[in-house]
Amino acid sequence: MDQQNVRKLPAAPEIEPTETSFGKRVETGAIQFGDDWPGLFIRGDEAFALAMDLDALFKHFEDKPVLNERGAVDVMFHLMIGRLKYLRDTIKQDVIVGGWPKIEE
């Protein structure tokens, strides 16, 4: 698996890991580095579940054009799906350790 897009950062002293039954770790949620805008951190195990949920969503809308209130193809919906596919592909390519498992349909 190629994780060349993973940006590895040193542990930030201002981000306190939470004590869990797995030890200290940063949990899924909003994180802000310095003065930068807050962002969303998603733990790998939760990212895996999110990727599976997104795949199910995409399959549901596969070959089904979504129409807007005027009956035309909803361009905004299809742009949203494109952004979600980018996130799903990033999870599959760079987050899932060991690669994406083959799931027989």
**pTM of the entire structure?**
0.71
> How many whole angstroms separate alpha carbon 18 and alpha carbon 75?
41
The predicted-structure confidence for 27-82, as pLDDT tens digits, reads as follows 888 988 778 888 999 988 899 999 999 999 999 888 888 888 999 988 999 899 99
Indicate if the pLDDT at residue 105 is higher than 70: no
Q: Say which residue, 1 or 13, is predicted with more confidence.
A: 13
- Residue range 77-105: mean pLDDT, rounded: 80
CA distances from 62 to 11, 26, 83, 95, 97 (A): 41, 35, 16, 25, 28
Q: Does residue 1 register a pLDDT over 50?
A: no
